[in-house]
Each structure stands twice: as structure tokens, then as C-alpha cells.
Structure 1
């Protein structure tokens, strides 16, 4: 028995020592990996996706775009870009533009456009001319997009303060004659009725019923030189005219600025109260038709210590406050909400050459910002139990401007910018949104309080369809620090179906060196007159690019692990097909 005890003790001692050695080796390996990652400037971020945990259908809320200058729509690069963005969604992209009723000869300028839809003859009788309006709407529909019709602005012949009428921004006052109430609401109402009737005659009743009709733009600031009650009056007469021509038309507003402002919030509240219980100026009845609610949300970038610092918190606070206001009206809480402008700041035509805080626009910071903004807006929508239907990016293109001059655009002289590739990534996502978590995520409430100012937000959003799934990942920080360390990402996907044992992986990337024509343009010497070969190379660099060649992988028991580095301000889309 003693021999057996001695042998047992010896075995126990050996096993104990072996276990200690194993612990030392594992600790050493962990320390080595940690030190190695530290020396490489990397942080290990674990992103967990549960492919079998469905949250909700993934609506393409990002499939909305808009711009100030309608006459760029049918310009050569404008038409090309309309066709590109129309291909970005399984459902038709919706496009909104200012100045559809503004008086002028159709010559575009920064923050200006016109259609000359309404003038009057010497006797004061209306003269309607839809030629330019038709060119704009035809371009959308021929590309497969839908108009999100913004009813505005005031024709010169109807304005209560017509002169001066056309601004010459930025040299003089922006908000001139086109921003004033009508001198005759009956004539205004008839103009809107004739516009809708013309669209029905040209495009058909069924097509026109599929559009959204929004009354005016940002009536709580200089775009409307009237009181809130006068806007309610404009809304009532406009909606009554739309519905007289098209009884099933989808109408809404008020397209106010960000509700984080107390004055903007008050305007939105009084408008909703008017629609719920106020006396209708056009019909004399109580309330006004309202099929969707729109407001705007903007960030606030700054230059701090010589570099751009984004203001994501401002953007999200606008959404948070606006959705809270909508949710406070039980009769409207179910209605679709459209952020009919949602952007990192408020002036698309303000070049970064003049406004250095806008220097985020040419590179990957813009798409990284937009990716995390969309994810957090969807979470705010879930928090408030509202119906967020659209997040509209107010960016298009400017003809005959310098290459990469820092306007908020999707393309420059026909060369696509990195932000457009984010929307190409989003267009590849379909099906149901599924659960995704990250130990690198910055909490939503922290972002609302102070933005992304400490650790970076390394996070993901995932969707699953019948024969595949997609995971959108980003590494975002408010500070545009190109020297910041990249993160090492471990993407763990669980709950894959049994049919997914063999999977093909496509990994798309936006960063400094991928899907980024701006980097190439600088390497070419920043040419303002690129030759044909350079231009073709820039066009190609502006397209969505793979990080690596597609490859086959195998899942095990419904699990898959993928590892890769993700630089600061980079976005990846991992697409799995089985």
C-alpha cells in the first residue's frame, strides 16, 4: 500500500508540475501576444455575431440622398451619379432636392437652382412651365430612383418680399425673396395642385402615389421668413392641394433643423400639435393629414490642435430628441420618420479649402463616421419604439469645381469618393438584422454625452439572408488621427445553418489604400487636369475594392472565426455565401 501511495504521490507531483509549466507557457504566450500586439500598436477586439438571433428586418434606411442644386441633376456627371446611387438599394433610392419651384433660368450655382415653374403674365394670370422640372424628375425615374418631392421654394411672382430674389452666396445674404410666404395662398395652392396634376399626367397615378411629398425645408430658420403658424398655413394649403390632385398621396413635414435645439424642438412640437388638433387653414376642420414626419440631424466638426475633430454626439442628439418628441404623440408614434437631411455638418457647399473643419470629406473618415452613425440611429429608433424609415445623406456633386476641393459630395468630377463606397457596402446587406456585439464598442449613452473621444468605436452591424450573411465593421474615432494604431479584430460568427459548412468569403475594405481615389490622386501629384490615363486610374480607384481575393473557408458546428487588422477610420464588409 505504501508503494502505491508513493507512486500516486509521484504521479500527482509530476502532474502538478506539468500543470504549473503549462500555466507558465500559456501566460508567456499571452504576454508575448499582448506585447506583440502592443508593439504593433494593435488592440484585440472581439466581435461576436449570432447568425441565429434575428432582431428585425434590415430596412435600407440609408437609400435616401439629396442636394441644393437641382440643375446638376441632368448635367453629365450628375446624370452618371444618379444612375450610380439608384443602383445602391434593393428598393428604389429616394432623392430630394431644393428649389423645384424657384424662379430662374435653370443656371446652377452653389446653394442655388431654379426651374421657372411659375410666372405670371402682365395681367397677373399664372403661367406654368414644367420643362426643367420634367428634366429633373425624368432623370430620377429613368435611373430607377424615386422623387422625394420637397415642395419649395416661393416663386418670385408669389413672394410677399420678392426683391432681392436670387442670392449670390457667399457674397451676400442667402435667405432672400424665395424664402417668404406667398402673397396669395389660393394661387400657391393652385400651383401645387398643377404640379401634382402634371406629374400624374406625365408619369401615371400609380407611380406618383409611390412618391413622398414634403412641404418646404427648415422653416424654423432663414429658409422661411414667416411665423410657425404661417408655416402651418403653408402646410395646410399645400397638403390640401396635393390631396385634391392625388387623394392617396403620401404627405409630410416639417423638415425642421436638429431638435437638440430648443427652438427647433418647439417648432416640431407645435407642428405635430397642429396636425393632431389644430384648426386647418385650408379646410376649416380640425387637424391636418400627416403620413410621415421629417426633421434634420447634423454633427458639428471642429479643428482642434490642427486636425479635424468630428461632432458625432451632436448628430445623434438631434435624432434622440426628435424621436423622443415623435414618441410623445401617441397618434403619430407609429408614423414613418425620415431624417430628410442627416450629415456630419450643415453646409455641403462649404469647401474644406475655406472651412478646414470640413477636411473629413475626401477620405475614409466620412464613411467611418456614417457607418457608426447609422448603427446608433437604428439603436435610438429601437429605444424610442419609433419607425425610422429614412436617413438621407445631403451630398451629391458640383460641376466644374476643383478635384477634391472638400465639398460634401459623393463624387468629384466623375470620380467617386470613399463615402460612396460605404453605400455600395450597405447595398450588399439584405435580409434580417442579427445580433452583433463588440468589446470595442463605445456605449450609445457615452457617445450622446461626449462623442467618441477616448477609445475608438470598433463595432459591427450584421444581416442574414437565406444563403448568406454580411457583417459591416468599422474603426471610428472623432479625432482624425492617421497615426493612430489599428485594431486586431477577431470576428466570431455563431449559429450558422448546417448548409453553411463550406463558405466563400468576400472581404471589402475602405481605408487609406482601398476604395479610395483621394489617396491615389495625391500620389499622382494632386492633378487638376488629369490626362486620360490618370483619369481612368482615378475612376477605377473610386470603386469598391476587395481587401483580399475571395476564398473558401469551412465552418465547424455552425461556428466561424475570421481574424484581420482594421485600421483607424476604416470600414470592412465581410460577405459570406453558402
Structure 2
């Protein structure tokens, strides 16, 4: 079964497309950055995609060892700070050309007012015993970063206060008034360090989010606080059911899910004080659980492609959660394809959604077409590039796009496509066919890396006076990137590609 769509794309019009896909990406807790495999996965992501910021939990957790206490000669408890691991992590980020989007949390054990923790790695989610000590910690860390990396650099790192305080699992009792106090004290501490720091919150997820956002903005207005941006999270999954190590659920209708962001945007703009304030989605994905096999699939890749084409309409940025599968919220995974959040599976194996981001990163230029299955941009040199997807949530059917692009010169062109679908760039299928081994050998790992690459296809043809016409076939849940470029003849003297064969047999015309 094949669906067909025809687009006559003109060069006189320019459509709106705010491509912020590379602004930020998520990570597991910061302490994981000390692992070699973590750095290898991030290096691959930066080489192929090149995110500008990275955001994750746990900068103040005890495995980072920043906050310490000792008793002085008079018997008083004093704070001291240990930046050994912080420097290692930040140095690694600097080396890979990525800035932190600083999420301040969770609570150091010695500073915490209670024992409640979250996750396998036990991040403390209670308020501080002393807000004076908390503010001192925030300032000490920022001042150390300024001293090490330079003030002009560090003040460009956004600062977010806590993570999902509207959930009792992430903030004791989901105490709204207590979070507002935490935000206020943190805001003052950050701005006192340097007023140029961009500071925001409340980093809420989609639970009672309307009321939380309204009350947060009312509080900020009443206290004359001026957050520089608003943050929230966005996931697309119905409540999942657990089966063994894994959770399964249905993907939500994407338009309905997008409507929630529109509501948040409208709430922000309903306050005259905050109208137009940037909104950052500091976490988004399909499922909100790191054990959902959907994350490793081509369905995920196509769904995320649809989202990336729309999210810029409402948000300043949208940070995919996460770049890699070195991640331990529910413990250490048993297999390389376990439904982790990451763009990269353990073994440094790209998943299909990895290529969605790599393809969108290449969409730099003047947008001349945007629809529910295609974005086309024209570059300064006159060439075209595009990303297309065939999201099939219900009925699976192929999609053939018939495209005509404007071109005045009747010359020869090369169409190059990179395709990810069920049969190409899909290492999960190969892993499944291999018997789903939990622990990969070196040979198996290399096979999966090789299978994770998109399939590349080229063809050449001549433009006519009517433009350049061609078609692209997308299998169900495929994501395709293509480039259309005028051929620059570079033939060496005497070289014959056909080597005596019939030239007409190899032209592709």
C-alpha cells in the first residue's frame, strides 16, 4: 500500500522553520561523565550532530563530592568544597565543544533536611537544612567555574533551578511554596555572583503543570523576580505497563501533545511582565521511562522528526533526553538495546533517532517548504537539502513524495539520499536476528556499528525548463535526508568510468 503526495516547491516564498534541534541534549547524572564509555558516546554525538549545550541531574550529588563539611577548633561546622570531579567533567565538555546547561540539584546529603531519595543512585530530593548554606554552595561552584573557564564564557551557561518539583518523587511532597523559596534564594545567589547569568525554572513536567506554571509566575511577579527563561518537560507516552525489565505504552497523538506546549506559551504570555519570555523544553522524548523499547526503534525516529519540525514554533529550545545509554535511573541495563533514552546504545552504536538529529542538523539555509512529512531548505550555493519522514502510528503504508524544485539552469544534478528505516540504519533488528545477546563480543559490536549506518543512494539527471522533478520512496517510519546539487565536472584526463562497457548501461537515465 502506497500513499502519494506531490509538492511543487517555489523559490519565491520562504516558510517559517525555527531549527533549534542542536541547542541542547540531555545526559544522565553528571557523575557518569567520569566513565570512558560515556565520553566515547558523547564524542560520537558531537562529531555527527554537534549539540551546543548539555543538561543533566546531580551536579550537587554526593558522587560528585563537591559539598563537604568539617569541624573547626571551636567545634563549629564549616563548609568546604571539592572541585576535583567537577573539573574533570567540565574539562571533558570543553574538549568536546559543548557548554553545560546547569541544572542545580540534587541536595548534598550533609546539607539535606531529610532522607528521601530518587533513583537507583539515590539523589536526595529534600530542601536544604540551611538556605544560607545552599546559596553558599551555588555561589562557590559558579565562582570556581568562572575562575577556571573565564567569566565571559561561564556567564553564557544557562542556570536552571532543580528538576520536576511538581512531582513528589523529585521534590519532597511536591511542596510548591518550598520550591518557590528554593527558586528565590537560588535566583538571588546566582545573580549576586554575576547578574548576566540567565536563570530560570520551574522545570516542571506534565502533571498539574498549568496550575504550577501559573502560580510560579504569580510568585515571581509578586516578589519582583525576573527569570530569564521558563523551563518545562514534555513526553509523548500514555501510562505504560511493566513487563519484566521493560515498560510498554502507546504514543500519544502528536498534535494533542503539542497543544500542551501551546497552553504553556499562552500562560507565559498572559503575564505582561513575562510576555515573550523564552521557553526551554529541558527534557523531551517519547516515553518518560528508560526501559521502553520504543526508544530504540524507527517509529521513535520518525516521531521525533515530526516533533523537531514543530517544536521551534513554541520553544526557544528542546533538549532530547538523552544523548547516550550510560544511564542508571532504574539501575544498570542488562542488554545493549533495553529501551534506554539515548541516541546511542552502549557499545557506541547509533540508534535510528541519532540520525534524525544528524539530518536536522544539516538543515541549514533558507527554508522553502515545511509540511507534516518534509522540510526543504536552499543553501547559499543554490543547492537543496531536506529531511523527510513517514510517521505511521496506526496504518503502516509506504509514502512516495513527488517533488519539483525550482531551477533555471538545464544542467546535470546529483541526488544523494541517506535513509534510515526498518531495513537500514536499524541495529536493533540485527541484534534481534542475532538472538538478542546481552553482552556483545567485539565482533558483534562492530557488526552492529556497521549496520547502524544509513543506506546511501545516488542518481543523476538533468533539470528541465520546468525545474527538477524526482520522487523519494519512504518505507513505514523511515527518515530520509537528501541533497540535490549541481554536478561540478572534475574528470581527470583520460579516465573512463565505464572501462569499455556500454556507457548507456550505467547512466541511470
Contact 1:220-1:228 at 8 Å conserved across structures: yes
| Distance in structure 2 (CA, Å) of the matches to 1:269 and 1:303 | 28
Question: Post-superposition shift, 1:239?
Answer: 1.8
After superposition, residues 236-251 of structure 1 pair within 5 angstroms as 236-251=184-199
Contact 1:501-1:558 at 8 Å conserved across structures: no
Contact 1:58-1:432 at 8 Å conserved across structures: no
* Pairing partner for 2:433 from 510, 523, 541: 523
Shift in CA distance, 523/166, structure 1 to aligned 2, threshold 3 Å: closer
In structure 1, the residue matched to 2:89 is 136
After superposition, what is the alpha-carbon deviation per residue over 1:338-361, rounded to whole angstroms, capped at 9, x for unaligned?
Answer: 10111112222xx2xxxxxx2212
Q: Structure 1: state its 5+ residue gaps.
A: 1-40, 107-114, 280-286, 352-357, 382-387, 442-458
1:410 maps onto 2:352 in alignment: no
In structure 1, the residue matched to 2:214 is 269
Q: Secondary structure at the match of 1:254?
A: strand
The structure with the larger Rg is 1
Question: Post-superposition shift, 1:52?
Answer: 3.5
1:85 maps onto 2:27 in alignment: no
Shift in CA distance, 429/500, structure 1 to aligned 2, threshold 3 Å: farther
1:119 maps onto 2:68 in alignment: yes
In structure 2, the residue matched to 1:210 is 156
Contact 1:366-1:419 at 8 Å conserved across structures: yes
In structure 1, the residue matched to 2:266 is 324
Shift in CA distance, 187/531, structure 1 to aligned 2, threshold 3 Å: closer
* Pairing partner for 2:252 from 311, 314, 324: 311
Number of positions where the alignment pairs a residue of Structure 1 with one of Structure 2: 466
Shift in CA distance, 302/460, structure 1 to aligned 2, threshold 3 Å: farther
Q: Secondary structure at the match of 2:113?
A: coil
| Distance in structure 2 (CA, Å) of the matches to 1:499 and 1:246 | 55
In structure 2, the residue matched to 1:43 is 3
Question: Post-superposition shift, 1:57?
Answer: 6.3
1:490 maps onto 2:402 in alignment: yes
After superposition, residues 29-428 of structure 1 pair within 5 angstroms as 41-56=1-16, 58-89=18-49, 92-103=51-62, 106=63, 115-122=64-71, 123-161=76-114, 163=115, 165=117, 168=120, 178-222=124-168, 223-225=170-172, 227-258=175-206, 261=207, 263-275=208-220, 277-279=221-223, 287-301=224-238, 309-313=250-254, 315-348=257-290, 351=291, 358-379=292-313, 381=314, 388-395=315-322, 396-398=324-326, 401=333, 402-413=335-346, 414-428=348-362
Contact 2:385-2:482 at 8 Å conserved across structures: yes
| Distance in structure 2 (CA, Å) of the matches to 1:475 and 1:47 | 15
After superposition, what is the alpha-carbon deviation per residue over 1:224-274, rounded to whole angstroms, capped at 9, x for unaligned?
Answer: 22532222221122122122222211111111112xx5x211111121222
| Distance in structure 1 (CA, Å) of the matches to 2:432 and 2:212 | 45
| Distance in structure 2 (CA, Å) of the matches to 1:88 and 1:294 | 27
Q: TM-score of the superposition, structure 1-length normalised?
A: 0.75
In structure 2, the residue matched to 1:31 is none
Q: Secondary structure at the match of 1:159?
A: coil
Question: Post-superposition shift, 1:66?
Answer: 0.9
| Distance in structure 2 (CA, Å) of the matches to 1:556 and 1:507 | 21
Shift in CA distance, 544/301, structure 1 to aligned 2, threshold 3 Å: farther
Q: Secondary structure at the match of 1:271?
A: helix
Question: Post-superposition shift, 1:88?
Answer: 4.6
Q: Secondary structure at the match of 2:483?
A: strand
Q: Secondary structure at the match of 2:341?
A: coil
| Distance in structure 1 (CA, Å) of the matches to 2:461 and 2:272 | 49
Contact 1:500-1:558 at 8 Å conserved across structures: no
After superposition, what is the alpha-carbon deviation per residue over 1:515-547, rounded to whole angstroms, capped at 9, x for unaligned?
Answer: 21112222333233433333222112223432x
After superposition, residues 526-537 of structure 1 pair within 5 angstroms as 526-537=436-447
Q: Secondary structure at the match of 1:53?
A: coil
Q: Secondary structure at the match of 1:273?
A: helix
| Distance in structure 2 (CA, Å) of the matches to 1:48 and 1:147 | 42
Shift in CA distance, 428/69, structure 1 to aligned 2, threshold 3 Å: same
After superposition, what is the alpha-carbon deviation per residue over 1:33-62, rounded to whole angstroms, capped at 9, x for unaligned?
Answer: xxxxxxxx2122224433442134643334
In structure 2, the residue matched to 1:565 is 473
After superposition, what is the alpha-carbon deviation per residue over 1:141-180, rounded to whole angstroms, capped at 9, x for unaligned?
Answer: 110111010011111122111x2557547xxxx7x7x211
Q: TM-score of the superposition, structure 2-length normalised?
A: 0.85
Question: Post-superposition shift, 1:558?
Answer: 6.2
> Mean alpha-carbon deviation: is it higher for 181-190 or for 79-88?
79-88
> Mean alpha-carbon deviation: is it higher for 362-371 or for 306-315?
306-315
Shift in CA distance, 557/232, structure 1 to aligned 2, threshold 3 Å: farther
In structure 1, the residue matched to 2:388 is 473
Contact 2:31-2:58 at 8 Å conserved across structures: no
Q: Structure 2: state its 5+ residue gaps.
A: 487-509
Question: Post-superposition shift, 1:320?
Answer: 2.1
User: Which is helix-richer, 1 or 2?
Assistant: 1
* Pairing partner for 2:416 from 468, 485, 506: 506
After superposition, what is the alpha-carbon deviation per residue over 1:296-316, rounded to whole angstroms, capped at 9, x for unaligned?
Answer: 111114789x99631144532
Question: Post-superposition shift, 1:318?
Answer: 2.6
| Distance in structure 2 (CA, Å) of the matches to 1:471 and 1:64 | 22
* Pairing partner for 1:436 from 362, 367, 370: 370
Contact 2:3-2:398 at 8 Å conserved across structures: yes
